[in-house]
Amino acid sequence: MSTARVWYRIPGQKPAYMQGTLRPVVDEPSKDCFIIAPFNRYAVVWMLEPEVHSTMAEVYSSWHYRSGEFKQGDPYPGESYIQWVELVKAQLRDESTMPDYPDAPHPLKVVTSRSVFRRLPPEPLRWFERACQTYPDAMVYLFDAPETGCWIGATPEQLLSWEAGQGRTVALAGTKSTQADSGFGEKEQTEQGFISIFIRESLNGLNIDYRQDAIQEVQQGNLKHLCAAFHFKAEPDELWRLAAQLHPTPAVCGYPRASALNVLTAERTSRAYYGGFVGIWSSKQVSLWVNIRCGEVFADGINMYAGTGITPASNAREEFIETEQKLHVLGAVL
């Protein structure tokens, strides 16, 4: 097994550093570790077992950048992303979208994605420090290993947190610029509602009692979102099953999940760890975050990712603009 490194900062805590052995998660994490999971729920989930765990990020220069063949750039150049959104909208309106799965529910929302490569000299540790300063309410991380390459992110979306028997997850969706003249409309409220329904279904399916907070607005940089928190009590042996049930959330793929993922088989973007989850796992604390506002670092730049939720009410050009705004969240620290 190889050596991996991660620098991370959970909101409200000091930056921390781990170095250790990278292993695949077979069933659930057997030791205290840092986890990085891909968007594909059937692909390998990795756990970093720390041999060194400190609150100080060390100086480091031997990065495991993957070769240039993995650099994607924009898979939807020009107007083609707008055309892809229009195609997805047509499928959302077409009741025969699921011919191969006649018993599956019709998709109501699909989250499309794109990636953009920005060429510049890589400075991962400096970017990590800037992201910690710029986004105090985000989970910021920098992960480096031969198996994964080098990834950095500043995500506002919590997948699952737990401590002393008390758990929390959030339904975060709907995006508006902080400079927008209008507030959240029906389209954004509908998006957020789908995720709330999914979380309730997941908790009920595992017989976990919960309490749901009222919807609030949360802000990250130049963007604001609708968010509702869910609070619950859970035993440690229930947490991995819940995390597996929640991933991937409708916030990164759509709703209902199975039918949305079927539509996304035609997506050009190779998501890799975008839309997966990252975070710490221990017997005392769990803090997992949906891996959005992230990118993969290469020797000559960074491949940044963004997605947007498509419903029949979506305006394709506005959805493209939303991806540009989301790309700016990470771009602002480069």
pLDDT at residue 102 in the model: 45
Helix extents (H) in 94-185: 124-134
DSSP states of 72-108 as a string? ---SSTTTHHHHHHHHHHHHHH-TTS-TT-TTSPPPS
Half-sphere exposure at residue 300, Cβ-oriented, CA atoms within 13 angstroms: 9
* 161-190 per-position pLDDT tens digit: 999 999 999 999 888 888 777 788 888 888
Give the pLDDT mean for 125-140: 96
**The model's pTM:** 0.93
Decide if pLDDT at 233 tops 90: yes
| pLDDT, the chain, mean | 91
Element (H, E) at 155: strand 149-155
8 Å CB contact between 114 and 269:
yes
pLDDT tens digits for 180-219?
777 888 888 888 899 999 999 999 999 999 999 999 988 8
Report for 27-36, 54-63, 185-194, 239-248: range of highest mean pLDDT: 239-248
- Domain limits, the chain: 3-331
Among 59-63, 156-160, 234-238, whose mean pLDDT is lowest? 59-63
Higher pLDDT residue, 68 or 21?
Answer: 21
265 SS3 class? helix
- Chain mean position to CA 278: 8
Are residues 51 and 22 in contact, defined by beta-carbon separation less than 8 angstroms? no
Class (C level, CATH) for 3-331: alpha beta
pLDDT at 98 over 50: no
Q: What is the dihedral of CA 151, 155, 160, 166, to 10 degrees?
A: 130
pLDDT in tens, 101-120: 444 567 899 999 999 999 99
Helices 80-93 and 316-331, interaxial angle, to 10°? 120
